[in-house]
Chain A
Amino acid sequence: MLVYVIKRILLMIPTLFGAAVLVFLLMRAIPGDACMLRMATGGGSIDSHVLQACRAELGTDQPMLVQFLDFLKGLVTLDFGNSMWSGRPIIHEVGLRFQLSLQVAIMATLTAILISIPLGTISAVRHNTWIDYVVRSFSIAGVAMPSFWLGILIILGILITSKAWFGSPWMPPITYVPIWVDPLTNLSMLIWPALATGYRYSAVATRMTRSAMLEVLREDYVRTARAKGLFQKLIVRRHALRNALLPVVTVIGIEFAFLMGGLVVTEQVFNLNGLGKLFVESVQNHDYNMTQALVMIVVAIFAVTNLAIDILYGWLDPRIRYT
């Protein structure tokens, strides 16, 4: 097992390296740079000496290869350097936002699990009945609805109901406080985006649970269990669900990884200062260091989640052995 994990971690290196090359080149393919943008926002004409000095300060006047090696060195030592826009250390800037995004991702995942596994199971057990149709429509709608629109609707709903019930409109707080400082404020802020993304995410997982369960319920061992006279509940829970969970775990894991960086639009709707928003800002500001760091964080999370999924497989299905 340990050997397997080490092997997998070593196999991550080419992916991470590829991602590093890609993001490095992509950023430099964007027309303009941070210095020109800084001067442009300052107004007036661009003085070539000042531009030169700025580039020297940021290190963008160096040859590409030198810049890339610098970036790699930073990656290996986990020192991402300073933001090219604000000048502050990247670790510092990312810190709180990472917490926020992680919390939303975890809450959305919990929402998705709580919705999808029971619904998917019921839908499969009651295959082709009205319950199945309702669940399927619910999940198809979830995939089709853009989560930012759902977010707008949720905000609209909060406004209307709070006005009707309390007389004055209530809006979720907009400044982030960690959950251990003030859990109530924290949750009342983050529960909404978690619901909006969790629903969409649950839709994908429900469909997967349903189809996996349908397949498993047709297996011989389920028939044997039924012939043995076991209760339906026991069959579903102990014999079917556990075997059906493999693909569901994959879907949930992959979505979780994507949520960490892919919440760009939902964060915009709820005005959250998360990783997604930071990413959009850093791309727009041509902040090479920041964008590179963010992309590497997201890709690393993706790779680690994939590994975690594979390890979880072994636990869910003892037949799978890693050597």
Chain B
Amino acid sequence: MATMTRPAAPAASGADQAPSRPSWLATFWRFCRQNPLGAVGGLVVLLMILMAALADVVTFYDPTRNNFGAMLEPPSADYWLGTDQFGRDLYSRIVYGARTALLVGFVSASVGGTVGLILGVASAHFRGRLDLILTGVMDVLMAFPLIILALAMVSIFGTGTSNVIMAITIPFIPRCARVVRSSALAVREMPYIDAARACGFGHARIILRHMVPNVFAPYLVIMTAAVGQAILLESSLSFLGLGVQEPVAAWGLMLRGGAQDYAESAPWVAVYPGIAISLAVFGFNLFGDALRDWLDPKMKI
């Protein structure tokens, strides 16, 4: 990672191919070279996805099976990261936990983000009363700490994976809507929107074909950040006992109860799941930051 020169190698190699779009791979390389930290984040995310997808292949124990013959075993060749107070293999639980974390993270970030995108763009496009009401509601929702809102939602929907996803999705909507709305307000004043209106296009066409693609950058950035936040939120809820329920493998849940009681004699129970959460959030944050710099260096969230 020496100096960073802008017109790097890919541009030169692309020159003899006609000035069309640089290839997918070239863009990817340029991203990695300009954002080494972002590339690290992307790698962590990729590893996590692989881990979740291949969980059955890379683990040797059932993550939910108790084994009272091997309780609180320290890390060894048999149990790479040791076992918990029920004799469950920590490594397997962490690998399967990636599934839970990614499921909650991706679903709540994408659903919450997309609903926020639609509301934000619609609010900016129509202005007037709709905008006033929507912004008002969003402002009220934003005045609640994220965890408080999520806790309230869990009390309404109940615990368990799918309910937790819902409880995390709803508080995300206003956060995304607000960011998208402010970008959409700027897009709305662009001449091409006027042109579209002059052509007599309907609202749906203007919103979907002309506005949404132009606010896609902030939407993508806030969604990546939201995945990390959702993972953190899910682990907090599960830690409180109000999120994903036993025996499902989830990182926050692994830190609950036993981890604290046995922390002194079996520190691995308390240490590894926390590392998993931190690494995952770390990866998504780095990747999100790099994506922001890449898509729109001037944007701040």
Give the B-binding residues of A (Cβ under 8 A). Answer: 14-15, 18-19, 22-23, 26, 29-31, 136, 140-141, 143-146, 148-149, 152-153, 155-156, 159-160, 169, 211, 258, 261-262, 264-265, 268-269, 279-280, 283-284, 295, 298-299, 302-303
Contact = CB atoms under 8 A, between A and B. Distances in A.
Contacts of B155: 30, 283-284
Contact of B279 (A26, A144, A258): A144
Contact of B148 (A29, A159, A268, A279): A279
A218 B260 CA distance: 48
Contacts of A269: 260
Q: Please give me the 5 A-B residue pairs with the lowest Cβ-Cβ distance, nearest first.
A: A262-B145, A149-B274, A18-B140, A144-B282, A144-B281
Contacts of A14: 136
A96 B161 CA distance: 35
A136 to B, nearest CB: 8
Nearest to B289: A140
Contact of A19 (B140, B235, B270): B140
B264 A156 contact: yes
A262 B147 contact: yes
Nearest to A215: B300
Contacts of B285: 140, 143-144
B172 interface: no
B58 interface: no
Contact of B236 (A15, A265, A298): A265
B274 A264 contact: no
B228 A15 contact: no
Contacts of B274: 145-146, 149, 152-153
Given A14-B136, A26-B156, A29-B156, A148 B255 contact: yes
Given A279-B148, A279-B151, A152 B263 contact: yes
Contacts of A159: 263-264
A26 to B, nearest CB: 5
Given A159-B263, A264-B148, 16 more contacts: A18-B137, A22-B141, A30-B156, A145-B278, A152-B255, A152-B259, A152-B274, A156-B270, A258-B146, A262-B147, A264-B240, A265-B147, A265-B240, A269-B260, A283-B155, A298-B148
B242 to A, nearest CB: 8
Nearest to A150: B274
B232 interface: yes
B148 to A, nearest CB: 6
A149 to B, nearest CB: 4
A143 B281 contact: yes
B194 interface: no
A258 B140 CA distance: 14
Q: Chain B interface mostly helix, strand, loop or mixed?
A: helix
Given A26-B156, A264-B147, A265-B240, A144 B139 contact: no
9 contacts: A14-B136, A22-B141, A146-B274, A146-B281, A153-B270, A155-B260, A211-B300, A258-B145, A265-B240
A144 B228 contact: yes
B271 interface: yes
A26 B152 CA distance: 7
Contacts of A144: 228, 277-279, 281-282, 285
B62 to A, nearest CB: 25
Contacts of B141: 22
A283 B278 CA distance: 29
B146 A262 contact: yes
B267 interface: yes
B148 A261 contact: yes
Contacts of B2: none
Contact of A146 (B37, B140, B236): B236
Nearest to B150: A264
A218 B270 CA distance: 45
Contacts of B260: 152, 155, 269
A302 B149 CA distance: 14
A148 B236 contact: yes
B297 to A, nearest CB: 11
Contacts of A22: 140-141, 144
A19 to B, nearest CB: 5
A19 B228 contact: no
B77 interface: no
B12 interface: no
Contacts of A280: 151, 240, 242
Contacts of B277: 144-146, 149
Contact of A18 (B136, B156, B228, B232): B136
A22 B156 CA distance: 13
